[in-house]
Amino acid sequence: MNDLHELSYDEFDQQYGANPRALYAKLLGVHQRSAGELLDRDAQIASLKDDLKDLRLEKTELVKKMREVVEDRHLYANQLVKMLVQGSIPSTQEATPTNVSASAARKTTKIPDPPTLTDGKEPQFEDWMLLMSQKLAANAAHFDTPHSIL
């Protein structure tokens, strides 16, 4: 008999008839092991319930903090919109410190205008057109928008 859980009634009756004390000792051992496992499982369940309680409290606190953060975000967004509408702060399309420093760093020396084109002979139109194209390309950094280049 390896496992008393698989013991049929006939096997039980036979072992009881042959040696009832040995059968009782085996059954008592099985019962004690089962009771010990049950106590261990009860301790695990109690520990898991405590963990669950702690996690629920933590979740409640995090949800509360998240709601506060969302509320603060809405307040700041509304304040920012009011300030933009009132003109208290520059819009993102206007120059910001990073845009100013970036545009100032890339600006080149302004190139003077080529000689005035009169009759197309002095200077010749093709030469004048080449000089004017080079000037506009070199001075492009001085213009903020594509419309102001022309």
User: What's the confidence (pLDDT) of residue 111?
Assistant: 73
pLDDT digits (tens, 9 = 90+) for 118-148: 776 677 777 777 777 777 777 776 666 666 5
* CA dist., res. 35 & res. 82, Å (int): 70
pLDDT digits (tens, 9 = 90+) for 31-40: 999 999 999 9
* CA dist., res. 88 & res. 115, Å (int): 46
Cis amide prior to 114 (ω within 30 degrees): no
User: What's the confidence (pLDDT) of residue 129?
Assistant: 78
* CA dist., res. 127 & res. 14, Å (int): 123
Please, are residues 88 and 96 in contact by the beta-carbon 8 Å criterion? no
- Among 74, 99, 94, smallest CA distance to 84 is for 94
